[in-house]
């Protein structure tokens, strides 16, 4: 496993749309593990492949990591897609590893259901709420070339 360089504000790759993963091979599995290690090394709770310079629809996240015990429960999502959103919204201060020391409030759906493929090629669903839902929306936005500051701008 390797720690990858996180692309920062101003890097044009952050505004590009990522491509679907067609085949889950050893290269994709290695990238996903590298992404988890990179996220943990930088004290993040989520990371999209474009943030490490790869235009593939891969997201890793771990909201348990920020809890008091610091236990790791990393999740790897291939080709994640939000298939339902709650009508109820929440406002949360967000940050991003690609925008160090920048934080702002973003209004997101309180609950989402995300469909994805796991590393074994199985279709899965996550019913997420609160910070997990916010994290997933933030990371899936990255896959579509949208950063949280774009959401801040459109909400003001």
Could you say which of 5, 68, 132, 139 is catalytic? Answer: 139
Q: Which residues contact 68 (CB under 8 A, 6 or more apart)?
A: none
Give the count of alpha carbons within 13 A of 11, CB side only: 18
Question: Is residue 68 flagged as an active site residue?
Answer: no
> Which of 49, 149, 51, 137 has its CA nearest to residue 86?
137
Exposure letters 77-99 (e unless 16+ CB within 10 A, then b): bbbbebeeeeeeebebebebbbb
Q: Which of 143, 21, 135 is nearest to 75 (CA)?
A: 135
Torsion of CA 87, 92, 129, 141, to 10 degrees: 80
118 CB contacts (<8 Å, ≥6 apart)? 76, 77, 78, 124
Report, as residue numbers or ranges, the catalytic residues: 139
């Amino acid at each position: 496993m390797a720690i990858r360089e996180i692309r920062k504000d101003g890097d044009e790759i952050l505004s590009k749309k990522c491509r679907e993963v067609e085949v889950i091979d050893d290269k994709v599995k290695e990238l996903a593990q590298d992404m988890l290690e990179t996220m943990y090394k930088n004290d993040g709770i989520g990371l999209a492949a474009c943030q490490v310079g790869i235009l593939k629809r891969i997201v890793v996240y771990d909201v348990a990591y920020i809890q008091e015990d610091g236990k790791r429960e990393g999740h790897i999502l291939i080709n994640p897609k939000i298939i339902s959103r709650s009508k109820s919204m929440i406002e949360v201060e967000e940050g991003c590893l690609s925008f160090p020391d920048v934080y702002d409030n973003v209004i997101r759906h309180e609950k989402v259901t995300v469909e994805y493929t796991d590393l074994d090629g199985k279709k899965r669903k996550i019913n997420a709420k609160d910070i997990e839902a916010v994290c997933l929306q933030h990371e899936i936005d990255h896959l579509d070339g949208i950063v949280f500051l774009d959401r801040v701008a459109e909400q003001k």
